[in-house]
Structure 1
Amino acid sequence: MFFFTSQQQYFKSPVSTVVCECQNKVNMQAVSRLDYVSFGIIPFFAYRITRCYECATCGHQQDNIQSDKFIPCYQIATKFVGLMILVTAMLLFYLQYQYDKNLQKSIVETPQVNDFYLIDYSLFRQESYYQKQFMVVKVIAADSSHIAVQLANYRYQRKNQVIKAIKLDNLIKPYYFSKEIEQLKRFRVAELFEQGVIYQALRAEGLTLFGGIVEMPSRPEPLYKGFKPNKANQDGVYFYQQGLFADAFEKFTVAAEQGDMYGQANLAALYRDGEGVQADFAKAFFWYQHAAKQGHKQARIELNQLCSNQVQC
């Protein structure tokens, strides 16, 4: 059990220059007593030193002695261990408090998307009747002069309940924040922080605060995005299969001009075979050449055949 108690420590040394009333000179000793306060087993601080001569035979004491025998300095210093620990702890606490305060001030002065402010709602709304209501405010946009924020739909009567809500991942739940967006001037936000209306400014580290998720991670890009066919080319293939060559020619022309290599190869085939358009080997060569440059294997084969048929290459 820890409690404050008063303790004493004695320091004794023999002396031969003093004679007791009992005429005993051999067993005289100088006694120094150090009184100190301890907290449990930890010495906290020393508050008094007394000295006297004491006879070891009869126990008689003589006060107000003049002796060079005294308590070692390190023994006195050790009695202030508890006080030094307390002062050190208070200093560390103060330095941590100043660091946190400056960090929060920098967050307020340089707002970013997904910063969070914990506010006293009654003071924020300047209500005539004050009620203890605390909530989370989320920054969704910021520029050089204004900050766009969303207020939570939930209010709490105690500050620790706000922290608990963050730890339980409530901030990522649907409808936790209001859909309404409020615009605040940046200098006004700084004033609210100085006034204690914003009593804590937070910036997520790795999408989390106090161990709770406050922002959903973005989905990674798929390693394979798949083949995305050109719509105009697909329509052209449909019309061609239905025997509507003129319509197919229009769609393949659109796809080819959009840079789709399949549309270019199909348009070249129509020019080569004269389907839906008058045969034109030069244009067929032109579009086969564009498709081949993009890696269309069949277009390369058709291009070689056109060249073997004495079309200009």
Structure 2
Amino acid sequence: MPQAAIRQDDEDEHLPEEKVGQKTISLAGSEEALASVNSPIVADKQEEPYYHYTVDTKDPDPWLIVHRVKIIIFVILAAAAVAGSIFYKDLKLSEQTNAMVAEPQLNDLYYVDFRVIKDNLRPTEKFRMAKVTDITGNVVTINFSSYFYLQEHELNEAIRYAQLRFEKFFQEKRHNYTKAELQALVGSGAIVLARRPVGNMLDGNVVVPDSHFKSSSVFIPGKKENFAGLEYLKFAKDGNKATLALEKFQKSAELGFAQGQVSLAQMYLNGIAVEKNLQKSLEWFKKGALQAYEPAILKYAIVCQQVRSCVVKDFYQELVQTGVNIEFTKQVDVRATTKAFEKALEEAEVKT
């Protein structure tokens, strides 16, 4: 007998009889469990169900097949509606731009594509904003922004973030164009959009410098009359209001107020409530210019070029003799030199 078996028998001899019996029973139970595992499956035992999954190759939603044509037509109509709305919006903006450029007003804003009217720009330089700062008869004076923008929507962002409230946003250099030339810029694609503020506001933001709202409480003869005339002039379509504006400007000009003299000269220049008279207009512009009022000097030079008997050089000499300091840097009139713009101007002249 092996030693392990002898040692096991020896240990069993020293155990109590109860524990020996329990150990014998446990061994017997383990033998029965092993026999049950090795025994064959009982025939009457019920088998577990077997699930067989299949994939349906048919369309799970036949509604799509039935209404396929309708769905395609609906998608096409929806795409056409979106394209039509975009086209209609662009058409309305184009009509708005043409109307505003044909009849400009002060503080009108133009989105200008400078690559159409100027060569040799940097890759990031394309759009600039222009502002109508003065209108003298048929001549419109605009100032360009000091900054270039690459994309058109950045001009809207400039308005949104109130960049136009800064004094230096627009350059001091003035650019004079006739209405026909501005319309030619629209036709050539240089002016892509025109916008008109209402009450110095656009898109809920102020578009004039903060200095515009500063006022002086100092009494100046003729100032009150000129202000009243400007308010009447807002309703110039009413003949009675235009006449009242003329009377206020006349009184302001006679009191020696330079701005009132310019306002009266504008009435003669445009023929509002009075017969158009360039000579009368030049007389009142000159009186304002002799007071060193810059708008009067600039407007006189513009109108003088339309009158044969007027010589701008003599006017400047007279101002210098009277001690008026003239800043010629603000009077520079820069013209575009590209062939496309020149061709557009020629076509505009032919049409007119």
Please report the TM-score for the alignment, with normalisation by the length of structure 1.
Answer: 0.44
Structure richer in helix, relative to its length: 2
Structure richer in strand, relative to its length: 1
Relative contact order (alpha carbons < 8 A, sep ≥ 6): 1 or 2 greater? Answer: 2
